[in-house]
Structures are given as structure tokens and as C-alpha cells.
Amino acid sequence: MLLGYVTITLEIMHLHSIRLFFLLCLTLPCIAFGAEDPATAYRVLEWPELVPQGWEPPLVATAHDEVEQRGIDPKAQVTSLDQQLVSIPGYMKPIVFDEQLVSEFLLVPYLPHQIKQHSHLEANQKIYIKLLEPLEVENPLAPLWVVGTMTLHSTFTDEGHAAYGIHDAITAEYTY
């Protein structure tokens, strides 16, 4: 009887040792390398931060096809945002979609620009988003958060031109 008790006790101790070992294996790299809290790993942007200080849009809006030929004014981009891990809220204007699944869209700052043609909105107020995985959209008018690495990659679409891009982005529900 005592031998059975000792055997069971040793097995339990062995299981606890294995659990402790795996727990340490999972947590030590985070401690050793100073892993960042995921909530602080990215910069939360507000739309005015996409406009360079002192930059003014042209008095007369440039035609859509003219911008496509000449390109976007590089002075209209904030170069320090390039390759920054960011999070920004906004509204989606689907560009590449299949029924309810959206894989690419323009992110714009507020709802009127989501509904209307975007050609009157400056390129630095639109971000071309390519999602890591397609998003099933139930309410296309709902705001959302986009998280990913910002680039200064200009994109031209029928819905307007974007001065920024975020590829392999993920989204989250925006709550007020």
C-alpha cells in the first residue's frame, strides 16, 4: 500500500515538474528579452497626424487622372510614419471584395467620405488597407480599428488615391 502511495506521489510531482518546466519555457524568453506589452507595441494615430506640419492642400483640387499621372505630392506625406506599427480608427470603402468578404479597402476618417466619392479628400487622408485575412463585413458603415505597419506606398483606385498603405493589416471593432 505504501509503495502505491509513493508511486502516485512521484507521478504527481513529476507532472507538476513538467508543467513548471513548460511554464518557465514560455515565460522566461519574455522576461529575458524584455518583451513589450502588446498594447504599447503600436502607435495609436489620429487623422491630423497624417498631414505634415505646415502643409496646405492646393487651392484647386487636382483631377483624379492628373494625380494618377503625376503621382502624389511627397510633401503631403509624414515620412516619419514609414514602417511604424500603428493603429488607427476609420471607415472602410471596400475595393476588393467577394460578397461580404473584404480583403482590400480605403480607410477614411469619417462617414460622409465613406459614402461619397473620395476624389475631393486629400490623399493623405486615405490609407489603402490590405488585410492579412479577408474580413466578413456585416455592417459596412460601422467604424473599425486597423492595426499594421504603415508605409508611404501610394495607391490609385477608382475610389480615390491614398498616400499611405497598411499591408497584412488586422482589424478590430471600434466601440464608442
CATH code at position 155: 2.40.50.870
Weakest mean pLDDT among 57-61, 144-148, 170-174 = 57-61
My answer on whether 12 and 70 are in the same domain is no
> pLDDT, tens digit, for every residue of 23-73?
444 444 444 444 455 446 789 999 999 999 988 777 655 555 555 556 677
My answer on whether 47 and 26 are in the same domain is no
My answer on whether 100 and 125 are in the same domain is yes
Q: Long-range pairs for 69-75 at CB < 8 Å and ≥24 separation?
A: 71/154, 72/123, 72/154, 72/161, 72/163, 73/123
Q: By residue range, what is the domain housing residue 21? A: 1-35
My answer on whether 73 and 141 are in the same domain is yes
Q: Domains in the chain: how many in total?
A: 2
Q: What pLDDT is recorded for position 156?
A: 85
My answer on whether 6 and 55 are in the same domain is no
My answer on whether 28 and 85 are in the same domain is no
Position with higher pLDDT, 5 vs 141 = 141
What mean pLDDT is predicted for residues 110-135?
Answer: 78
